[in-house]
Chain A
Amino acid sequence: MTSTLRNQAIIAGVAESEIGKVPGVTGLALNAQAARRALDDAGMTPGDIDGLVTAYSVAEPYFMYGTVLCEYLGLKPGFCASMTMGGATGAILLEHAAMAIATGRATTVLVAVGENRATGLTRDQAVAALAAVGHPAFEAPYGPLIPGFYAMIARRHMHEYGTTREQLAAVAVQARRHASLHPNSHMKHPITVADVLGSKPIADPLRLLDCCLISDAAGALIVTSPDRARDLRRPPVWLLGAGEHHTHEHLIAAPSLTRFGARESSEAAYRMAGVGPGDIDFAELYDCFTITPILEAEECGFAKPGEGGALFAGGATTLEGRLPVNTHGGMLSHAHAGAAGGLLGIVEAVRQLRGTEGERQVKRHEIALVHNEGGIMSSHGTVILGRERR
């Protein structure tokens, strides 16, 4: 049996659903729309799918989400799982799909995640649902709020390394500019550093424009065996490496406030792919808040510890920079709907690797890294994708 996932699976098709506020459409329907579009992108039919992996839905909390989605789509697969790893789920689902293919348990796996978080929940219900991430006895009674957890991480980073409010704001400004060049983004109007610094305070030092969106959105991938590469409508994208790492769930139990499991998950992915940070042409980094991609850029080896803020503020991570990051606008501006936020980074990476993105297309697009993170920097999944097998 193979001991690596390198070159064991290809991404044949990708898609997202309608994005933004999509009233009157269920989360299952958004998943189905993304799945149908991804299947079309791959040039395949529903009969080709013999595996399905998905996440969960806060807006539509079915107990067995995976089999509910199979039922909705009329699929009767031999391999099915629904995983709940928060924002890390997307990358980890791709890893699991590849494991199923590498071990012969499935040939073609549909990865579909997303939900109607913008219109399926009221704003207060959405915030209350997210507040449940805090420990029910030892965090939640103190009213921490999800942005508050990340605000404490951001403040510690500012304290230890001198990271500035302006550096955080640069992450949001850049994301908005990238989203404005994407045909299907939730938020497109340009913003400035002054807009971010002047937006409504949420959990100091984080303000409204430091926080990701709440969208209706789903994303889907068709992952298949390399044997199918020649049958596809589009050139395949290869999974070169994957890694995950989990250190805690609640922030009170985090081993550190500045050092997280993204280092181990990315190191595992680099080892499997046989590449290092210097080989990565562009990256899609989970950006639930502006501090998050700064931490991940450091942990994935793109900047030294403490220098992530300067990396973004200096322009290295723009479309024209030496390492474009969040080329679709990320969750800060493109879309965020539960586990779909991270998965849409994989969708974007595949498109950029194909080289089809026009005005948004990055110049160098051989190898990409996508990092997804869930909880409060708790669970981490990293995948490295390539235009060619390596």
Chain B
Amino acid sequence: MDLPLPAVTPETAPYWDGARDGKLLLQRCLACRAVRFYPRRTCPACWSPDVEWIEASGRGRIASFTVIHRPPAPAFAGRVPYVVALIDLDEGPRMMANVVGDRALEVAIDDAVEVIFEARGAVALPQFQRSAR
């Protein structure tokens, strides 16, 4: 059984296209300038449909995390234990990802992390690793 792939929609396709190019792309509202996550056609702050895509720094900090021991599906069984984290990006929005790489299981709240990309099927999935910030 394969790991789940994200459902890609016309609204979110630029995000996934960016990830394939090694870029973490975020939407910024042209009307109120709020940076939002996840991508969508309507600004949740002001309802403007006018938006631009910006490239994020890829840096953030851990807001919280868990270590999953009981896999949600058989496809994750080979990965346990693994870290699921909420990451506060330097640009403001909060996103979810796994913390992977060296000493991932020693991660702590407020740790600095940086984006990397995991090839999964035809998509690249943004993931984070601990950085020495």
Binding site for B on A (CB under 8 A): 124, 127-128, 131, 135-145, 147-148, 151-153, 155-156, 159, 200-206, 251-253, 257
Given contacts A136-B6, A142-B96, 12 further A-B contacts (CB under 8 A): A124-B73, A137-B8, A137-B38, A140-B4, A141-B120, A142-B98, A142-B125, A152-B84, A155-B65, A204-B66, A204-B68, A252-B86
Closest A residue to B97 by beta carbon equals A142
Q: CA A124 – CA B37 in complex, angstroms?
A: 31
Chain B contact patch, size range: 35 or more
Residues of B within 8 A of A252 (CB): 37-38, 86, 94-96
Q: CA A141 – CA B72 in complex, angstroms?
A: 11
Whether A203 pairs with B67 at a CB distance below 8 angstroms is yes
Residues of A within 8 A of B74 (CB): 124
Whether A155 pairs with B38 at a CB distance below 8 angstroms is no
Q: Tell whether A144 pairs with B84 under 8 Å between CB atoms, given A138-B95, A152-B64, A159-B64.
A: yes
Closest A residue to B80 by beta carbon equals A143
Residues of B within 8 A of A151 (CB): 66
Q: Find B68's partner among A138, A148, A156 (CB 8 Å cutoff).
A: A148
Q: CA A145 – CA B3 in complex, angstroms?
A: 14
Whether B84 pairs with A143 at a CB distance below 8 angstroms is yes
B34 to chain A minimum Cβ distance, whole angstroms, is 13
Whether B84 pairs with A159 at a CB distance below 8 angstroms is no
Q: CA A203 – CA B71 in complex, angstroms?
A: 9
The 8 A CB mask of B88-107 against A (1 = contact, 0 = none) is 00000011111000000000
Whether B76 pairs with A141 at a CB distance below 8 angstroms is no
A117 to chain B minimum Cβ distance, whole angstroms, is 16
Closest B residue to A202 by beta carbon equals B70
Q: Find A145's partner among B9, B65, B70, B94 (CB 8 Å cutoff).
A: B70
Is B132 an interface residue, CB under 8 A from the partner?
no
Is B33 an interface residue, CB under 8 A from the partner?
no
B13 to chain A minimum Cβ distance, whole angstroms, is 11
Q: CA A136 – CA B9 in complex, angstroms?
A: 11
Binding site for A on B (CB under 8 A): 3-9, 12, 37-38, 63-74, 76, 79, 81-82, 84-86, 94-98, 109, 120, 125
Whether B68 pairs with A143 at a CB distance below 8 angstroms is yes
Q: Which 7 pairs between the two chains have the least Cβ-Cβ distance?
A: A151-B66, A137-B6, A204-B67, A152-B64, A156-B64, A201-B69, A145-B72
A79 to chain B minimum Cβ distance, whole angstroms, is 33
Indicate the member of A137, A152, A155 with the most B CB atoms within 10 Å: A137
A303 to chain B minimum Cβ distance, whole angstroms, is 21
Whether B66 pairs with A155 at a CB distance below 8 angstroms is yes
Q: CA A386 – CA B92 in complex, angstroms?
A: 45
Whether B82 pairs with A203 at a CB distance below 8 angstroms is no
Closest A residue to B123 by beta carbon equals A141
Whether A144 pairs with B3 at a CB distance below 8 angstroms is no
Whether A141 pairs with B5 at a CB distance below 8 angstroms is yes
Closest A residue to B86 by beta carbon equals A152
Residues of A within 8 A of B79 (CB): 143
Q: Find B84's partner among A142, A202, A257 (CB 8 Å cutoff).
A: A142
Indicate the member of B63, B70, B71 with the most A CB atoms within 10 Å: B70
Closest A residue to B94 by beta carbon equals A252
Indicate the member of A142, A201, A257 with the most B CB atoms within 10 Å: A142
Q: Tell whether A143 pairs with B64 under 8 Å between CB atoms, given A137-B6, A203-B70.
A: no
Residues of B within 8 A of A251 (CB): 86, 96
Q: Find A148's partner among B7, B8, B66, B120 (CB 8 Å cutoff).
A: B66
A312 to chain B minimum Cβ distance, whole angstroms, is 21
Whether B71 pairs with A143 at a CB distance below 8 angstroms is yes
Whether A141 pairs with B66 at a CB distance below 8 angstroms is no
Residues of B within 8 A of A253 (CB): 38
Indicate the member of A135, A141, A147, A203 with the most B CB atoms within 10 Å: A141
B118 to chain A minimum Cβ distance, whole angstroms, is 9
Q: CA A148 – CA B81 in complex, angstroms?
A: 12
Residues of B within 8 A of A156 (CB): 63-64, 109
Residues of A within 8 A of B94 (CB): 252
Closest A residue to B87 by beta carbon equals A252
A165 to chain B minimum Cβ distance, whole angstroms, is 14
